[in-house]
Structure 1
Amino acid sequence: MRVRAVTIGWTVEWREGKIANAAEIARVPERIRDHFAQVGIELQTVRLATQPFPAVVAPEEVTTYARALCAAAEAAGYDYVSMGPAGPEQRAWASSIVPALVENETLFAAVSVTTDDDRVALPAVEAAGRVISELARRTAGGFGNLRFAALALCPPGIPFFPAAYHDGGEVALSVAWEVADEALAAVTGAQSLGEAERRLEDRLSQVAERLWAVVEALASLLGARPLGIDCSLAPYPDETRSVAAAFERLGLQPFGAPGTLAVAASITSVLQRLQVQRTGFCGLMLPVLEDARLGALAQAGQLQFSTLLVASAVCGVGLDVIPLPGETTAAQLSGLVLDVATLATRLKKPLLARLMPIPDLQPGEAVRFDFSFFAPAAVVPLAGATPQQWFTSEPGQNTGEDKL
């Protein structure tokens, strides 16, 4: 077991073009790292998440604010910082995301594409697709899209980036664990789905209880609100820490074979039964570029886009770090965001779309980034066209008035 991230939620005070309360976050990362070193748990990153940036600055101030926020976070020792999402009606702020992310390589941001009454905001969907398309063109290899997502029904307090943002209250603390290796070991040798589920729950319950005790002690040390653990099953780009490999240990060959959805639902049910304070997604994560087995399947031409989307209905976070053809249009990207947002609103669950068009690459071509959290993969084919006119409606035009 490792900890992918400890995320500190913090309310920024912006006065006269400067961050006025940066002293509040000084030395916090150092204390967090010392705490985990003392208890013998590997900690990968310490992250900072603020309240949504439109609540802090006007659209024309966003790039200045982003620069100051990243400087303050770096000085304090944070690895990454999220300035939160622009809301579904805040298109002027959404337009400022691209230059802010292009300039600041440790910055994350998002656009929320759902309304407070759980409907899909089509103008926000269009804005998200446009941001993804622009980031693909303006960052090397399209890598900037690692740091942007379209959010659907995502609440504050999620420790995973780019979904993380703060509720605006007192300092808070949330934790994202990494236990794919524990899951892989637990299900290996199971003779049935029921046995695998029991073994997985037993093992992860032990790990969760140990980690929660550490988190509570850390929150007390920092004087922060402990929001909980995001118990999502997140992979790392190594076969021994692959979520897709856990499916195949149960006999599915390959991942995506009939029965994949049942396994996804079974694992997710275990994660959501763990008896610790939980926050965030608490689901199964299938990020193509972060999972060594998914990357290998993409290289072999055996990974279907539809499998990943359907799996979102019963498990994970949505469509995450999927390498797409460089020629993917903004309208196609908006269409994918719309599908994810529709699933989220129909099923009343948080999902995101983090899509990565790779400039100049075609379906099936190899994708490799010099980034420790990414595995080798290949561009996943995307067929068909989405009509741009779907997304040219006036602000306030939303889907979802009818209910299932």
Structure 2
Amino acid sequence: MRHLYLHVPFCPTICPYCDFHVVRRGPGLVERYLERLAAEAAALHAQRPGTLATLYLGGGTPSYLRDRELARLFAALPWALAPGAEVTLEANPGTLSPARLERLRTLGVNRLSLGVQSFQDPVLARLGRAHKARGALRAVEEALDAGFRVSVDLILGLPGQDVRADLETAAALGVGHVSAYTLQVEPGTPFALVGLEPDPDREAAAFALARTVLGRAGLARYEVSNFARPGEEARHNLAYWRMAEWGGLGPAASAHFYTHAGPGVAERRTNPPLPRWAAGEPPARETIGPLEHAKEGLMMGLRLREGVDLAALARRSGLADLERVLAPAIERLEAEGLLERTESQLRPSEAGLDRLHAALLPLWEALEAAYPPDGVS
């Protein structure tokens, strides 16, 4: 196992658009979390030892943990880190300071993913963020000065947002990576309950602007929503998109392992929510068969500008004639300007990244016609 995700569910505030598994601190809750995490890490290490190439602490707000809590968390991880391993921690600007940054460096963190969302105070207030623009700028500058690789999260296409200003501010700061998303209004969130609806036209215009502004600043779009300077791509997230194996620790965390046996290609493990996870409930296990693996491989690989190696996907899935089955659909999608083909490598065009669903659907339909889920052809 070369990649590990660790979920920290605690947040100082819960944003009105958030549907992640997050909770506020409560008496003894972090203590129980850390105790259960140590036991889960030991058990997983016994099954999947190895040296980690990437470690990602997501949330929630991992930087919300106190210094001693973070020290216990890292001490609970038995895996060694490979030379040059990427260790990412998600952080909110208000939880950082020079002293905290130095502490994170001591623990081995070398990359920060900062949930900035915007550099405009009215937009931040509308999003329910606890920080202001000045605090976000300070946090980014201090993190860069402390030697971290820094990624900034931005939400684009919001009402009243000056998108160009946010993009130009992020680029001018000199960060190596920008994750640019549109607002997803998920059922059950406060935004959904008040009837907030995204504007697809405004969001499309915002993404077009992101390509232009960030591209001119040297941040190339290497994934649907991610832009990076050369060498600054998120190596942990690339493991997901390239369908590598990864482990997951913490409530609601997921893992992906190859089985190499039986009809299944891979196994997905998903931990239960915090109360059941803390009580020791094991993860749910789902077998991923050849068809689903091939569909997921296309979905994840075509998120990347580099695309997916169809020959490798055929070997992993066991669907030996996968390239032949997909050929007619690929030809149509090439003619529409959504896909590009070089030998066994299938890549999305820039338009294909923008219209990923339109590029994927014909490929999935071709797979389902050739390899019905019940195995009858």
Q: TM-score, normalised by structure 1?
A: 0.38
Q: Computing the radius of gyration over CA atoms, which structure comes out larger, 1 or 2?
A: 2
Structure number with the higher strand fraction is: 2
